[in-house]
Amino acid sequence: MAKMKRRTFLKGGAMVAVSTGAARADDFSLGLLPGTRYPDPRIEVLDKRFSSIGNAGIERIMTGLRWAEGPCWSADGHYLVVSDIPNNRMLRWLEEDGHVSTFRAPSNFSNGNTRDAEGRLVTCEHQTRRVTRTEHDGSITVLADKCDGKPFNAPNDVVVAKDGAVWFTDPGYGIGNNYEGDKADALLPDRVYRIDGQSGALTVAAEDMQRPNGLAFTLDGTQMYVVDSGAGTLRLYDVVAGGAPRLGKGRVFASNFAPGITDGVRLDTQGRVWCSEGWGLPGEDGVRCYHGDGTLIGKIHLPETVANLCFGGRRKNRLFIAASTSVYAVYVDAVGAV
């Protein structure tokens, strides 16, 4: 293997080397984290409502990125797409053999990704300050790029509702410097937006958060979890129907992330909430799982700050985690809701 700069992480006696350089073909080391012993002690059970699979360890499936974000599983193609924002590209990992290739470059410094009911990729782009959809023939459709004649700040994360509407957050992280996009002034408040699935009309869904980030619907679609990275909280909102749906009354669902923050969020079919943890204590970097009543019931500890996550794999029981310079995967005792 070619020489590369490395930093190390020490937890439970296991030394993990992580690449911090730009990706090259020989940098994509695979496999279980060094020091793995079943059951993996890095999967921490805090409550009986969270259980781990005893002989499933945490694997690094990709490394050498500068900042991994927006993991999105393709059920029809059996591959994972992930954004490498500072490198202005999106990468694809094949489930069949672990092969990694370039999905799109340049990617307009893309961040969050999701898929609609027709299997089309929906993407938030920092540089162009827009939300796009990749059609089946590879062409790009712009779903929205401005509000009231003003460009968005930098669309961040995105989900598609059962009615086909596209909901996304616009906290502006991508215009703060020239590293994850182009430095620019914010012309709009940090908001959650909704794009109607039929008319394409854009409406403001919420604007009462400091930095709205990751978002996910509850199983019945009547509520939405939204990460407010600025406040360091995960909030739960009622979805107000009628006319153009919006977010109504909200409350803090979880706020025990300090001194770190959370970023991305997903649900499993039991309604448990899985979210990222990072930017705080190194020993807390990873994933947190909450019961629907707000109780923290489990943790997955990783050697890097986590940005986002998604469920995937043939049975949707594999958790893919975008964490700083790498992407990790672990089979969990859960099935992803979307």
For tokens 């996550």, what's the residue?
A: 309
Residue 336 within any structural domain of the chain: no
**Phi and psi at residue 113, to the nearest 5°:** -140, 150
What domain range includes position 215? 6-331
Give the Cα separation of 97 and 54 in Å (integer).
24
Residue 1 within any structural domain of the chain: no
Residue 338 within any structural domain of the chain: no
Helix (H, G, I), strand (E, B) or coil at 307: coil
Residue 241 within any structural domain of the chain: yes
Residue 23 within any structural domain of the chain: yes
Give the Cα separation of 229 and 211 in Å (integer).
5
Domain with 174 in it: what CATH number? Answer: 2.120.10.30
Give the count of domains, the chain: 1
Residue 17 within any structural domain of the chain: yes
pTM: 0.91
Give the Cα separation of 226 and 168 in Å (integer).
10
pLDDT tens, N- to C-terminus, the chain (338 residues):
333 332 333 333 332 333 333 333 334 467 999 889 999 999 999 999 999 999 999 999 999 999 999 999 999 999 999 999 999 999 999 999 999 999 999 999 999 999 999 999 999 999 999 999 999 999 999 999 999 999 999 999 999 999 999 999 999 999 999 999 999 999 999 999 999 999 999 999 999 999 999 999 999 999 999 999 999 999 999 999 988 899 998 999 999 999 999 999 999 999 999 999 999 999 999 999 999 999 999 999 999 999 999 999 999 999 999 999 999 999 999 999 97
